[in-house]
Chain A
Amino acid sequence: MRLKLFVTILIVIGFVGSAKADEILVSAAASLTDALKEIGAAYQTKTKHIVRFNFGPSSGLARQIDEGAPADMFFSADLPQMDDLDKKGRLEPGTRKNLLSNQLVIVVPADSKLAIALPKDLLKPEVKRIALAEPPVPVGTYSSKYLEAEGLWDKVKPKVVPVQDVRATLASVESGNVEAGFVYKTDAAVSKKVKIVYEVPIDKGPTIVYPVAIVKESKRKEAARDFLNYVQSPVAKDAFKKYGFVVLE
Chain B
Amino acid sequence: MLFFSFETWQITLFSLAVGLASTLLILPFGIAFAWLFARKDWPLKSVVETLVLLPLVMPPVSTGLILLKIFGRRSPLGQWLYERGIEIVFNWKGVLIAMSVMSFPLLVRSVRTSFAEVNPRLEQIAATLGASPLRIFFVITIPLAYKGIVAGALLAFSRALGEFGATILLAGNIPGETQTLSLAIYSFVQLGKDPEAFTLLGITVALAFIFVWCSEWLLRSSKKA
A binding-site residues for B, Cβ under 8 Å:
25, 27, 30-31, 33-34, 37, 52-56, 60, 63-64, 66-71, 167, 170, 187, 190-191, 217
Contacts and interface: CB of A to CB of B under 8 A. Distances in A.
Contacts of B72: 64, 67-69
A56 B191 contact: no
Contacts of B65: 63
A56 B172 contact: yes
**How many interface residues does chain B have, given as a range?**
20 to 34
Contact of B74 (A53, A68, A170, A191): A68
Interface of B: 65, 68-69, 72-75, 78, 87, 89-90, 168-169, 172-178, 187, 189-193
B89 A69 contact: yes
A64 B89 contact: yes
Given A63-B68, A64-B89, A69-B72, A30 B191 contact: yes
B170 to A, nearest CB: 8
B190 A67 contact: no
Given A30-B191, A33-B190, A187-B192, A64 B174 contact: no
Contacts, number: 76
A130 to B, nearest CB: 20
A54 B187 contact: no
Given A69-B89, A70-B73, A190 B68 contact: no
B10 to A, nearest CB: 14
Given A33-B190, A187-B192, A68 B173 contact: no
A180 B141 CA distance: 62
A70 B174 CA distance: 12
Contacts of B175: 37, 52-53, 55
A27 B173 CA distance: 9
Contact of A71 (B74, B90, B173, B191): B90
A218 to B, nearest CB: 12
A190 B192 contact: yes
A68 B176 CA distance: 22
